[in-house]
Structure 1
Amino acid sequence: MPLDQPDEHQAFGEMSIGDHLEELRKRILYALIGTGVAAILTFAFGFQLIAWIARPLLQAQEALGYPPAVYAFDPTVGFTSVYLRVSLIAAAILASPWILYQLWRFIAVGLYAHEKRVVHILAPFSAVMTLLGVAFTYYILLPICLVFFIGWAGYYPEVEPGDRGLMLSLIYGRPAIETPVESEPDTSALQLPVLQNDPETLSEGMVWLDARLGALRAVIDGEVHTLMARQPRMLQPMPELGQFIGFAAFMGLGIVAAFQLPVIMLVVGWSGLIDPAWVRGFRRHALLAVLATSAILTPSDLLSMVVLALPLYTLFEFGLLLMAWVYRDPSFPEDA
């Protein structure tokens, strides 16, 4: 222990259990207050957040030729499973750097002055890694998962009901065949414009056929609505909004937490708790842990797992470089 820093560790050693509990209580209170402030913001913009989260799903549906729509099969879904869940999860993500900072302040009571300096970069670094985790989930991993699973429905064949079989014909009878009424044929069929995209200029009552979606579209009350869409396949994906929010939230929270790995490794290296040379010997174990984490956080397809595993292992190596850069052997203090 350096001769010019005895009081710091002596004070820490003399702290009673009650003092430790009081410090922990204070840090938990500060973390909850920070989360509450973040929740005020996320609840105020809850509907905008929901629309932002659902956009990759709607884009994937449209790109694959399905009507862009989500459904709710429970009257409480709109508030409990969607609005409330999204707002709370967004508040936890927004406040995560502040929560990590409070955790560090609790731990820093027992550290030297030079070890505490890492707190000046801890919160900004954690905030950057949080943003990177959210961006990676939203712009890379989530679209890949959605295109894979929604697109899989397109491989199912078209199945026409056809004529009733013998048994169904005996039970229900054969469908009646209507005799056409003799009249002059009507050759004035209604023709609608066939467009690849929605018209740039919209007016109330406009109707057109969307060739890309195979859907009948119309302008009603100033908004474009899909009135009817073709059903070319046996399997039609009908995403339920609450389930999709849960799927995206589980993936996003896990990835944001995993992206904090370099932050944790930086703190561990700075405090001298673990030698980076010792950590290098566990690269194989780290790779196995990365693959297991990727398998848990992603759906069951191999592509999503590999897409997540690559950046996670890169973050481990990056964290290892940070550990080696800031590591100080505790047996050789700064003032020695």
Structure 2
Amino acid sequence: MSTVQRDRAAQLERPVAVADWTAWTCRVRLAVTDPAALPAARALLTARLAAVDRACSRFRADSELAAVDAGAGRWTPVGPLLAEALAVALRAARLSDGDVDPTVGGAMTALGYDRDLDLVDPGQVPPVLSPVAGWGTVELDGDRVRIPWGTRLDLGATAKSWTADRAAADIAARTGVGALVSIGGDVAVAGPAPAGGWRVRVEDVTGDPDAPAGPDAQVVVLTDGGLATSGTRARRWRRGGVEVHHVLDPRTGLPATPAWRTVSVAAASCTDAGTASTAAVVRGRAALPWLAGLGLPARLVGEDGDVVTTGGWPAWTC
């Protein structure tokens, strides 16, 4: 489990170097505990983002994932990166009892989310019921995969958090410094933390971490593991005059009924945190006893703005 603590401003004076940029239509933040290591760390993270995009993007016709979709119904060879990403997605599906499901790609496309979000066509047809094949239909056998005919995969629920985990660990191992990697607000840390830990802002919509905190933001400290936030506010668009969001209920193929506008979870890895936070959005009010049973620190913000915490999430601080 990740160690998540209250932010104590007096502990946070530390010499770290930070770089920010945009990738995958997300804000990316890289921080390292030695400024001299920042160029090498950024090169490592940039290379990993590019490699994952080539393997796993459903927006690229030349990606390996697109080849798997095109070959639905038969075995398709995959490289080690996509094989690992698929294994991670299937594990997340198993651990969440199917609330996080990689076979929602067709349903996402039916909602119009078949390209980068800022390019989505609102279309004229409103969302319709589009159940997914289900994660249990995906067959992964080493370096090959087979999905049912008509199925399209979407690894969006796990790819960001898994990439953050892998990148942070790789940077720490290769440079010997502590590293924080945030991709769209999914945060992984590895290596020696700075004095006082890594300061992370938790809020409804990922914004500029250097800007003044909003009234609903909370700042916590991570020393290991990861933290992820899932919600229904950040990635929204209109389809046929209906506003929709990107967290789908695999049982219907439609956006999950909103009970929580955001759920933030800390765990032993960013991947596990992201799996739990996404599943919690799908589960709605039933997420509270589920998260409590897992013992994961979590902060859930209701549609009305009320905040509920569980699992030892730290007391409020700004």
- TM bin, normalised by shorter chain, reads under 0.3
Whose strand fraction is larger, Structure 1's or Structure 2's?
2
TM-score, normalised by the number of residues in structure 2: 0.27
TM-score, normalised by the number of residues in structure 1: 0.26
Structure having the higher Rg: 1
